[in-house]
A and B are shown apart, each in its own frame.
Chain A
Amino acid sequence: MPENKNLSKEQSPNVIGASARPVYDKSNFVKTIKDEIPNSLLLKSLKKVFNEGEVMLSEKDVNDRLYIILDGYVAQVKEDEDTGTQIGMHGPGDFIGLLSFQTGEPVFTTAKASTKVVSLCFDHHSFEVFMNEYPQISKTLQGLIFSNLADRYRKVVMLHVEVANLSRQLEEERNHLKQIIRELERTRNALISQEKMATLGELTAGLAHEINNPASALLRSVEYLSENLPAMAERASALPDTGLVRYFFEAGAQREFTDTSTHRSRMKELKTIYPELSRTMLRTMAEMDAVVFEKLKSFMGSSKNQPLLQLLLDAYQSGIFLNGIKLSTSRIEYLVKSLKSYSRQGGKDPEVSDIRQGIRETLQIIGNRLKDIKVETEMEDVCLVNCFVGELNQVWTNIIINACDAMEDKGALGISCKADKERGLISITITDTGPGVPDKIKTRIFDSSFSTKTAGGDFGLGIGLAITKTVVEKHHGSIEVKDREGGGAMFVITLPAAR
């Protein structure tokens, strides 16, 4: 309780000031009592001393004592579950146990001597006696008691006001934080799509090659066939047995590749047997397997029947081109499908998808980076995850491209997908045979500020792994990097399985 220092003690011994609310002077009160003790058996008998640390009142106990502190300080402690919170300190002239003494309610806060404490300890009887014997001091005492209670009330009111203020501040802070989180989310999404565009830029360069190859084969094969088929059909109709043309056509469509040096030596061999035939004819003949070639030989005779031979070779060659068209078309179709599904933005809501599909598409799309890399997959389990497919595909792309970079595009890439049905988890392990990730940077490689890529040299922002982690965490999963047995890095991603 604040003391009013301007008031003179001389105005009144106990009651000071003439304002609407009298202010009672504790030190005067204490002094009066102390002066009285030597003369009073009652007061002497009430004197009680506590040592430092001694508990005067314990929370929740029933109390029938009222202490008036004469010397020393008492800490008021509210006990929590395991620790105590000190809520106040009382000195000379203050009361301890006032509420529980007056109301009979259990003790509300524990009182513990902070220093050595000299007090007067009343029970109800001695309090009564004291009131009667020292009416003058009692008056001050009652005033002090009332003042004490009033003070407590004021404090409670102030506390309410403060709580209200704090709540308002908290609310403001919370709104501010919400706004910051929204901004962070926007920034993150922007970064994700920026990195995604960068990855896509890198990918499309590779895709151009992937698509242009089959496109070349496709275009040229179609042109060849449209030029030659009509004439072939005409020539074939002159034959007694058109089934023959069909036979060679189909054989061509089923041709299997031989390596070029075997093919070359076959061509050389044929050249010695049929020196009069053109290299183009010999080349086609060298493509044929033994059965087809035997059949062809039976029509060659002394190879005098060149028009028939040419027709059969053309039929065989047309079969080769038709098959080329089929292969090229399905490759382009698959690539385009993969790209479409890969770059799918996806809606607001996640969808249940087998992540193996996304991984296969990713492998297909970055195929040109994998030409010299042995890819070993172990993906027998069905791995359904509730996810944003496009975002997870970026995860696979980032990790696989990182692996390619680390291996300098030569080595082995291992991908396994396992479903742990009991724990409801899907784990994806991606290993490479590169130099691995040194221990001291293992914890940092997922930081957005960390990159081993030099600025400007790459399409990406060098924050691929940071984004990878963000995306994995968005899917309530985790990602960690370990050492692959036998050297290299191992990334393990764990995602909750879809129910």
Chain B
Amino acid sequence: MSDIYIICVEDEPQVLDVIVRDLAALEEVFPIELAHSADEARELIKEIKEDGHKIGLALCDHIMPGDNGIDLMIEMQKDSFTENTRKVLVTGQAGLEDTIQAVNKARLNRYIAKPWDPKDLLEIVKDELTQYVIREEKELLRFMAVLDQERIQEAIRTKGYV
């Protein structure tokens, strides 16, 4: 069975360390992978694709050396492999124009301001992943343990399969 990955793109190693920690509760169901730049992220996405897995969610910083986070997300939106990946911007600063771009062109789903509250982060990530699996996955039972149980149960009922 293919895995659904969470990828985190962030140029500051210390920030990456703490994001991974905050999401650890999801890791057994949704493996987390990291990238320090848009280039590393491209390589990572390629690898995940080649291994036959999926990417359910991308958490992305905006200002990074090389291409910025929004450029990367727009690119992901254009690629059918990552088109349906939930996209979350985690940033200390993105101008209005950048954010508008991200919403319009990258179908940005969420915006998390740094520094974040870990509960909010986890809630947002769970919420986004719940939407992702309901839309993309047939076998939903295995996500019950870590995601929004009520909505998944509801989805199982309406879809009519387990």
- Residues of A whose CB lies within 8 Å of any CB of B are 205-206, 208-221, 223-224, 257, 259-261, 263-264, 278-280, 283, 317, 320-321, 324, 327-328, 368, 371-372
Contacts and interface: CB of A to CB of B under 8 A. Distances in A.
B141 interface: no
A216 B115 contact: yes
Contacts of A283: 20, 32
A259 B41 CA distance: 12
A280 B26 CA distance: 10
B146 interface: no
A323 to B, nearest CB: 8
Contacts of A328: 14
A220 B18 contact: yes
A224 B21 contact: yes
Given A206-B93, A263-B34, A278-B28, A220 B118 contact: yes
A412 to B, nearest CB: 14
B114 A212 contact: yes
B14 A221 contact: yes
Contacts of A220: 18-19, 21-22, 115, 118
Interface string B61-76: 0111110000000000
B52 interface: no
A261 B35 CA distance: 8
Contact of A216 (B13, B36, B92): B92
A280 B15 CA distance: 16
A328 B34 CA distance: 20
B139 interface: no
Nearest to A213: B12
A319 to B, nearest CB: 11
A445 B109 CA distance: 44
Contacts of B113: 212
Interface in B98-143: 113-116, 118
Contact of B13 (A257, A279, A368): A257
A196 to B, nearest CB: 21
A213 B27 contact: no
Contact of B65 (A223, A263, A372): A372
A206 B14 CA distance: 19
A209 B66 CA distance: 16
Contacts of A210: 92
Contacts of B18: 216-217, 220-221, 224, 321, 324
B154 interface: no
A279 B32 CA distance: 8
Contacts of B31: 279
B15 A260 contact: no
Range of interface residues on B (Cβ < 8 Å): 35 or more
A321 B15 contact: no
B91 interface: yes
B144 interface: no
A365 B65 CA distance: 16
Given A216-B115, A260-B36, A320 B92 contact: no
Contacts of B12: 213-214, 217
Contact of A212 (B27, B35, B92): B92
Contact of B43 (A218, A261, A321): A261
B92 A324 contact: no
Given A220-B22, A279-B32, A372-B66, A209 B115 contact: no
Contacts of A208: 92-93
Contacts of B24: 280
A98 B71 CA distance: 96
A167 B13 CA distance: 74
Nearest to A327: B14
A371 B116 CA distance: 23
Contacts of A280: 24, 27
22 contacts: A205-B95, A208-B92, A208-B93, A209-B92, A211-B92, A212-B92, A212-B115, A213-B92, A213-B114, A214-B12, A217-B14, A217-B18, A218-B115, A220-B21, A224-B21, A279-B32, A280-B24, A324-B14, A324-B17, A324-B18, A368-B63, A368-B93
B91 to A, nearest CB: 7
B44 A214 contact: no
B30 to A, nearest CB: 10
A368 B65 CA distance: 9
Nearest to B30: A279
B83 interface: no
Nearest to B116: A216
Among A216, A221, A261, A317, the one with the most B-chain Cβ atoms within 10 Å of its Cβ is A216
B33 interface: yes
Contacts of B21: 220, 224, 317, 321
Contacts of A261: 40, 43-44, 47
Among A205, A211, A283, the one with the most B-chain Cβ atoms within 10 Å of its Cβ is A283
Contact of A259 (B36, B91, B116): B36
A278 B115 contact: no
Given A214-B14, A216-B15, 14 more contacts: A205-B95, A209-B62, A209-B93, A211-B92, A216-B92, A218-B115, A220-B22, A257-B13, A263-B34, A264-B33, A283-B32, A317-B21, A328-B14, A368-B93
Nearest to B36: A260
Nearest to A261: B43
Contact of B27 (A209, A278, A320): A278
A261 B36 CA distance: 10
A205 B32 contact: no
Contacts of B63: 209, 368, 371
